[in-house]
Structure 1
Amino acid sequence: MTRFEVITGIAAPPHRVFDLSLDVDVHTASMAGSGERIVGGISSGRMGLGDTVTWQAGHFGVRWRMTSCITALDRPHHFVDEQVAGPFRRWHHAHHFEPDGRGGTRMRDVVEFAAPLGPLGRLAERLVLDRYMAELIRQRNDHLRTVAELAPGDP
């Protein structure tokens, strides 16, 4: 199993960043490069506790589907999304939001995942997936930062 953290500073208050992080439209826009789109579950707006969404995207020249569920939520401090169906043996993504002391947010993503296929999956994690998945989270966070910092007023 692989575990990584990504820390992102955003010049917007935690409640705004938290709410935008749960917005499936914002997420879809952040993953436009992989053609990610919603094919089931919540199709627009903000997700809540127990909500699921099924994403379809292209990675490594293959179309993948993953259904995730919001399994924990404590606004505006943290939430967790976990894979309930999809390509990983395990996917657990904890999102943490803390005030940075300057009116902004210190957002910390903690991702744990395990690829399928036993030893081959573990090799793929070490050789490719750990860096690839961390870069996808950074890409999402860069987009989220742009949206949050440009958003007028407090949602």
Structure 2
Amino acid sequence: MPVILLTTEIHAPIRIVFDLSRSVDLHKISTQQTNETAIRGVTTGCMELNDSVTWKAKHFGIYQKLTSKITSMDKPNSFIDEMEKGIFKSFRHYHGFQENNSKTIMTDTFDYKSPLGVLGKLADKLLIEKYMTKLLTTRNQVIKEFAESDKWRSVLTTNYG
């Protein structure tokens, strides 16, 4: 079972980074290359505990749907989203946040199982793990870009003053 671990250092307050990570609107921006659209559940704003969203996106030239749900949340330190329906056999995405002086350390642990047994394992090695790492890294860079500038104000409506 592949596990992708990413750490991103962001020079912004933990609350802003945490909220950007839960933002459906920012997720849409960070995944423009796959045409991701929220079609059911929470389709705008920040997701909360037990919220779910169904995404429609184009991966590997094929439109797919994936539904994930926030199954755990400890504001502003962590949350977990897990797949309810989709192309994977399963996935669990842990999002961790730790404030250190004037920066936030954001940690992603993306734990997934591909379908199709041995063929799925082969696809992981050849394609999927690299593809998912790039997708998550790109998303984290967009979170960083928005958090470290005033761009976050365009997607978050909460007053942080």
TM range (shorter): over 0.9
Rounded to whole Å, the distance in 1 between the matches of 2:64 and 2:18 is: 26
Partner of 1:88: helix, strand, or coil? coil
Gapped runs of 5+ residues in structure 2?
154-158
Gapped runs of 5+ residues in structure 1?
none
Rounded to whole Å, the distance in 2 between the matches of 1:92 and 1:108 is: 14
Rounded to whole Å, the distance in 1 between the matches of 2:143 and 2:160 is: 15
Partner residue in 2 for 1:75: 75
Rounded to whole Å, the distance in 1 between the matches of 2:35 and 2:19 is: 23
Partner of 1:145: helix, strand, or coil? helix
TM-score by length of 1: 0.96
TM-score by length of 2: 0.92
**TM superposition shift of 1:46:** 0.6
Rounded to whole Å, the distance in 2 between the matches of 1:122 and 1:2 is: 9
Matched, 1:154 2:160: yes
Partner of 1:144: helix, strand, or coil? helix
Rounded to whole Å, the distance in 2 between the matches of 1:68 and 1:9 is: 26
**TM superposition shift of 1:100:** 2.6
Partner residue in 2 for 1:105: 104
Partner residue in 1 for 2:30: 30
Please show how residues 64-143 of structure 1 align to structure 2 within 5 Å. Answer: 64-101=64-101, 103-143=102-142
Partner residue in 2 for 1:43: 43
Partner of 1:43: helix, strand, or coil? coil
**TM superposition shift of 1:126:** 1.1
Q: Give the aligned CA root-mean-square deviation in angstroms.
A: 1.2
Partner of 1:121: helix, strand, or coil? helix
